[in-house]
Chains A and B, each alone.
Chain A
Amino acid sequence: GEDVEQSLFLSVREGDSSVINCTYTDSSSTYLYWYKQEPGAGLQLLTYIFSNMDMKQDQRLTVLLNKKDKHLSLRIADTQTGDSAIYFCAESTSGGSYIPTFGRGTSLIVHP
């Protein structure tokens, strides 16, 4: 199976919170990342979390990490139409030169 898994689609109403979930398999993961990809563009790092943390908050973004269950989530508060994009979860380890392994991405659709 895939090393990093995430659901493919999420649809939310503008103003609601969005929660995008991700699971990974590598217990030695050191860093976990969330990237955003807008249509026709490259990936933009939104936020990352060290594996010894369980939460990180950055403005509207909250990352939660459950290391025991190898589960990562990204919560976007007050979701806006400009948040519509594909969100990629990724993990890296020091043994892998910190090269991220990406999930397939979750398409977030925000409708009015």
Chain B
Amino acid sequence: NAGVMQNPRHLVRRRGQEARLRCSPMKGHSHVYWYRQLPEEGLKFMVYLQKENIIDESGMPKERFSAEFPKEGPSILRIQQVVRGDSAAYFCASSPPGDWGNEQFFGPGTRLTVL
């Protein structure tokens, strides 16, 4: 059973370009979470999704950031018109369905560098 997969592992973009980060949850997991880790800081929650639904986006910046988790395919975190402050590691985690105060399984992260 493969773990959570993220691609690309490293992404370089120039200011103003778009960044698309992909996350494939573990098999059987229907909950996906995105976090951002700035240098020397902890993970900050961004968004929590289930298939075709955004459950909690309280950590998402109001502009330029969006996320989706379609019925088929990976979850996508999209950052439009990137700025230098978007440079960070973006981690995806998944968990199985159910109400249990869940164990989240993390992917290896995508390290975004904005030039």
Contact = CB atoms under 8 A, between A and B. Distances in A.
A97 B48 contact: yes
B35 to A, nearest CB: 8
A35 B42 CA distance: 11
B25 interface: no
Contacts of A102: 35, 42-44
Contacts, number: 50
B53 interface: no
Contacts of A88: 42-43
B17 interface: no
B91 interface: yes
Interface in A58-78: none
Interface in B91-110: 91, 93, 100-109
B33 interface: yes
Interface in B31-88: 33, 35, 40-45, 48, 55-56
